A and B are shown apart, each in its own frame.
Chain A
Amino acid sequence: MSETVTTLTPAVVVVGAGPSGLSAARELAPRVGEVLVLDRESTAGGIPRHSDHPGYGVRDMGRFMDGPSYARRLVRQAREAGATIRTNATVTGWAGERAIEVTTPQGRLLVEAGAVVLATGARERPRPARLIPGDRPRGVYTTGHLQNLVHLKHGKVGERAVVVGAELVSWSAALTLREAGCRTVLMTTEYPRPDSYALFSGPGKVLFGTKVATRTRVSRIIGRPCLRAVEIEDLDTGHRRIVECDTLILTGDWIPDHELARTAGIAIDPGTRGPLVDSALRTDRPGVFAVGNLLHPVDTADVAAIDGAHVARSVTAWLDGGSWPVGEGVRLLAGEPFVWVAPEILRPGDPVPARRRLLLWGERYIRLPHVVLRQGGRVVARRRVWWPVAPGRVFRVPTDMLSTVDPLGGPVTISAEP
């Protein structure tokens, strides 16, 4: 090891200074000693910094604020609690079970911590990952890229936009476009109805004059070197038409930023594609925890933040000499119409999941669903809930439904029926 590498030995290192990482740091700092939060961006706060509209902090702070204010508040709270936040600090790899290598302008760091909390978040799939054919013009963005461009860098976009997706984040993109002086002429969704909260869909139409084309997809991108139009396919009839636009925003379609977890060889859940965790948010690597939208891509910032607070108890127990559980416990599996559930493992004696909720992601709309839990081929719980399963947002199942699960009875499949 070179002399120019600085070694740090905090009790806990948190990777990612977004809502979940900062909340974890805030709760941990007073309890465990030195907590170091690393973030690759030049400002801490994570994704909410880009989202200059209200709706943040409801569940975790009991407030209603805009994204940047929420982010600043999280940063302040973590600092006041005694955590050290280092920005422009990119974690580039592992150097041991709980040791990581970091690049900063102040030099290379080797951080050897008692516990590692992964809070690296999630991103939207960009155009190549969605395999949309056609030209490769300028003017195609994800929501994150758009908001970064407009809110943080005050850049310009075009005048006529098509937004792919009609979920919460898609409307967030439409708001940003409007602020940038760009009209959203069409939103497309493959689902048979707009996925977002009714609150947005009705007023959304009035507010933006935007049409939502359900059961459609963008089948081709047209224009060189600048975007000129997109081809929209009707999924039911196969009919294709050309919609002129100079801006295309690809929203939703989330994937966790799981690179660090995967390069560690940590077990990954095939559904969420994030680390497989138990209700104490432990991964399968001793002393390595995971929180936030890395685990459930994606829920709102406040729910991610609550994970952060939730993990503090497990981390503290580990640092106090706690053991790392081995063995599967009860594996939770996503059944129809769900594609993932988080957390994925229940063990007797572990804390109940954060907010006493299991989080699931549904691919089909069900208005008043019955939630059904099956174990060993038998229905162990069935309950009607008053909130819908809707594509594009997290569905929550109260954990008291799990009381009839047999801790030794094998995997539990969670599904929803009309």
Chain B
Amino acid sequence: MSTFDVAVIGAGIVGSAIARELAGYELSVALLEARDDVGDDTSKANTAILHTGFDAKPGTLESRLVREGYHLLYGYADRTGIPVERTGALLVAWTTEELDALPGLKEKAELNGYDRTEIVGAEEVYRLAPHLGEGALGGLTVPDESIVCTWTTNLALATEAVLRGVTLLLNHRVLSVEKPVEEHETATILRTSEGDVTARWVVNAAGLGADVVDRLFGHDRFTVTPRRGELLVYDKLARPLANRIILPVPSSRGKGVLVSPTVYGNVLLGPTAEDLIDRTDTGTSEQGLEFLLEKGHRIMPELLEEEVTAAYAGLRAATDHQDYLIEADAERRYVLVGGIRSTGLTAGMAIARHVTDLAGKAGLPLVPRDDLPEPPRMPNLGEAFLRPYQDAERIAADPAYGKVVCFCERVTEGEIRDALHSPIPPAGLEGLRRRTRAMNGRCQGFFCGAEIANLLEADR
């Protein structure tokens, strides 16, 4: 195999954004992913909030990159059709301790360069969120917090990377590394589960596995602790209850949970926070679900009357560091992008710029390309925008968009066909879910499961 200029390890949001950014220069780039699809780990199972960064730790790299990433992703969403809704957020104080913490949070937001928060009284809290449970004492509004489709974000970045010429290597788990030991050697050999990949530069964006890969390069800088966050997704009929993101106020009693609308028209309740050892344990637990129900009962009792359409867990890459850990090693031609927690969705594109900048300063030649293709136009999965089943013109032009296959989510045969023939087709049903929403609804495949499995099979 030929030698790539750069190999990026990990095709989550951060790795995909980095590969896409690097491919904007005269570089040959490989994007390696251990799993059979892009965005199949932390990037698929998070709260899907586009953060203003109001509550980041001021002065950190995370604070800066979240703030920049917010604007970058908003612009990118507009160009590529990633569904995003500026719902705004409301932090709700339930105790006097939480109420007393609000001015400090407002100040912190301002230190983070965000000055549109506002402290409001209980009456305003209930006007903004009429379905909240009893006992709210006050709140802080964050009008620019937004909800976004994390699946489409990851897929758009990876798709554009591929369109720009990046070689996407799925099922390539990095097992060991042979790094250049002497000055005249130019390339690192990555020994993967699917053979060797050679590259002059390596970017480690391996998320939950970033510390393991970092050790393969001879470092011992940090340890990733998989922090499990369990989430409940409520049916669309619950959506009128939650028209904005309801956030907890961090307090001595620990971090609470949030209630948030999703771009698919559902309502999220979660996440829990539980440190694990197993980096693959995305199961749900009895205690976790009980905890969520107890919290949900307090925050929005009516929500619990609605049907749960999904219960899942995501693992975020918690580390022993307070900030992102992004460091370039000029000698080894290696960049670590570690400790990117849940804010990575928002910060991803800014991280990509930052990493490219660091690598450039460390010696990676950056010659901008003038032949870049247009960014992809992604299929819309958002309820706030026209979906194919609603689009009379589109159905008239192609009847496949009028054939609803998944009834709960109203996914059409045309959309499934498009996903199966997209630049990064799904490896299986799970990937198809993230590309189309098929089978994500209240019946969980009662009606469409068999039909969709057949469509997938027929395509093979």
Contacts and interface: CB of A to CB of B under 8 A. Distances in A.
A148 B444 CA distance: 13
Given A40-B407, A135-B283, A4 B395 contact: yes
Contacts of B288: 133
Residue picked from A126, A135, A141, A224, most chain B C-beta under 10 Å = A126
Q: Which of A105, A106, A142 has the most CB of B within 10 A?
A: A105
A222 to B, nearest CB: 8
A74 to B, nearest CB: 19
A112 B271 CA distance: 44
Contacts of B133: none
B310 interface: yes
A131 B311 contact: yes
B60 interface: no
A123 interface: yes
A41 B311 CA distance: 27
Contact of B280 (A108, A142, A224, A259): A224
Nearest to A150: B450
Interface in B429-457: 442-447, 449-451, 453-454
A128 B450 CA distance: 18
User: How extensive is the interface on chain B, given as a class?
Assistant: 35 or more
Interface in A186-211: none
B446 A105 contact: no
Interface in B255-308: 280, 282-286, 288-289, 293, 307-308
Contact of A153 (B312, B395, B400, B450): B450
A149 B444 CA distance: 14
B407 A90 contact: yes
Contact of B446 (A106, A142, A262, A263): A142
Nearest to B236: A259
A172 interface: no
B447 A133 contact: no
B404 A103 contact: yes
A40 B289 contact: no
Given A41-B447, A108-B395, A129 B402 contact: no
B399 interface: yes
Contact of A92 (B283, B389, B403): B389
A2 B446 contact: no
B396 interface: yes
Contact of B283 (A88, A90, A133, A255): A133
A36 to B, nearest CB: 17
Contacts of B284: 133-134, 136
A52 interface: no
A379 interface: no
Contact of B444 (A88, A126, A135): A126
Interface in B388-434: 389-390, 392-393, 395-396, 399-400, 402-404, 407, 410, 412
Nearest to A130: B308
A123 B399 contact: no
A2 B392 contact: yes
A368 interface: no
Contacts of B312: 136
A104 interface: yes
Give chain A's interface secondary structure class: mixed
B410 A92 contact: yes
Contacts of A255: 307
Contact of B392 (A107, A152, A262): A107
Contact of B286 (A92, A135, A220): A220
A144 B450 CA distance: 10
A127 interface: yes
B390 A128 contact: no
A148 B446 contact: yes
A136 B282 contact: yes
A215 interface: no
Contacts of A59: none
A125 interface: yes
A375 interface: no
A-B pairs, top 7 by smallest CB distance, nearest first, are A126-B444, A105-B399, A4-B392, A108-B392, A90-B404, A153-B450, A105-B402
Interface of A: 2, 4-5, 40-41, 88, 90, 92, 103-108, 123-129, 131, 133-136, 141-142, 144-145, 148-149, 152-153, 155, 219-221, 224, 255, 259, 262-263
Given A224-B280, A263-B237, 15 more contacts: A40-B407, A88-B402, A92-B390, A108-B390, A126-B446, A128-B310, A129-B308, A129-B442, A133-B289, A145-B446, A145-B447, A148-B449, A148-B450, A220-B286, A259-B237
Interface of B: 233, 236-237, 280, 282-286, 288-289, 293, 307-312, 389-390, 392-393, 395-396, 399-400, 402-404, 407, 410, 412, 442-447, 449-451, 453-454
